[in-house]
Amino acid sequence: MRSSSDTRRTWRSIALCALLLGLSAVGVASTRPVLAESYKTVRRVNDGYALPSPELTVVLSLGYRAALADLIYAHVLVSQGLHFQEKRRFEYVASYLETIVTLAPKFREPYRLADTLIVLQPTPPTLEDYRAARRLEERGLSQFPYDGELWLIAGQFLAYLAAPHAPEAERDAWRLEGAKKLARSCELIGSNESIPYHCINAAQLFNEAGSRGAARSFLERVLAVSDDPEIQALAGGYLGRIVGQTERDRSEERNRRLRAVWAKDLRFVSREMLLLLGPRFDPARCAGVPAPSDGNCETTFRAWGERQEAER
């Protein structure tokens, strides 16, 4: 059995603990309002960048490059949201993205969102922001040269978003480079149904830059590769405004002849497959070096088109 002295010590310990808890609660209740007000007035104005150079980060990843790239990218997305909430600039977002694509060059998302993450911030972007976004997009195009969406994003960024903020001496060059990237996206249409409509904008940019010949050849390519009647009407109408109705009629006549060859020879294949296979010719009649020039001996549609022009 426990003695009375042990019981008293136990109750004293309990009373002491209760007193300490009470004093702690009073201390928190009395100091919390003051600390809360102080916390509200303190704002973080500068970011810290704790990563080494991209090349050294690759070494420090110990071979887990993709995993580290994912981790840093998740940090970038969360930090972007926090910076918007706090209405302050995300200073090192371009540096983070450079490190990510160095770790994982085939990671597509940083290239796709580079202009959004770098340029669209709570504070006005600087010229270096536009240059950094452009460098990342160029890097993405070198990694994904046949990605029509990336070409479209890069073209729209340069032509419409970045060019007005470029130095005056470089403004037209940026806009023309954007038009070239838009034109390339049109050649890689893929499944994006909105891209062909940007082709007309690219032609307009070429024309405004004084490259009427580039605009004309580009619109003629659009007419040659697109089967959409609405796109055909848009491209044909703008071509007519640039070079005149006569030249537009000539372009439509060439397309009509191509469709006639397509229907007569291989109507069951796609236009892309037809252009890859080339026009029909008679191997026996066209044998020899050089091939006879008086017959239909063209093995490519480029040569076929040149002969069509010569016969007009």
Does the residue 5 lie in any domain? no
Per-residue confidence band for 286, with pLDDT thresholds at 50, 70 and 90: confident
Say whether 281 sits in a helix, a strand or coil: coil
Does the residue 267 lie in any domain? no
Question: 285 and 297 in contact (C-beta within 8 Å)?
Answer: yes
Q: What's the whole-model pTM score?
A: 0.64
Please identify which residue in the block is written with the tokens 């990605």: 147
Residue 222: predicted pLDDT: 65
Does the residue 126 lie in any domain? yes
Question: Could you report the per-residue pLDDT of 289-312, keeping only the tens digit for each?
Answer: 666 565 577 777 677 666 666 665
Does the residue 151 lie in any domain? no
Does the residue 45 lie in any domain? no
Kindly state the average pLDDT of the residues 256-265.
Answer: 70
Cβ neighbours around 168 below 10 Å, total: 6
Question: 231 and 239 in contact (C-beta within 8 Å)?
Answer: no
267 phi, psi to nearest 5 deg? -65, -15
Does the residue 70 lie in any domain? yes
Separation of CA 38 from chain center: 43
Kindly state the average pLDDT of the residues 82-97.
Answer: 90
How many structural domains does the chain have? Answer: 1
Return d(Cα 246, Cα 243) in angstroms, integer: 8
Does the residue 104 lie in any domain? yes
Range of the domain at 99: 52-140
Question: 195 and 185 in contact (C-beta within 8 Å)?
Answer: yes
Residue 27: predicted pLDDT: 82
Q: Which residue has the higher pLDDT, 63 or 186?
A: 63
DSSP classification of residue 158 = I
Please give the helix or strand (H or E) that residue 99 lies within, else none. Answer: helix 93-103
Per-residue confidence band for 245, with pLDDT thresholds at 50, 70 and 90: low
DSSP classification of residue 162 = I
Kindly state the average pLDDT of the residues 245-260.
Answer: 66
Return d(Cα 71, Cα 57) in angstroms, integer: 13
CB neighbour list of residue 106: distance below 8 Å, 6 or more residues apart: 143
Provide the greatest CA pair distance for the chain: 127
Does the residue 233 lie in any domain? no
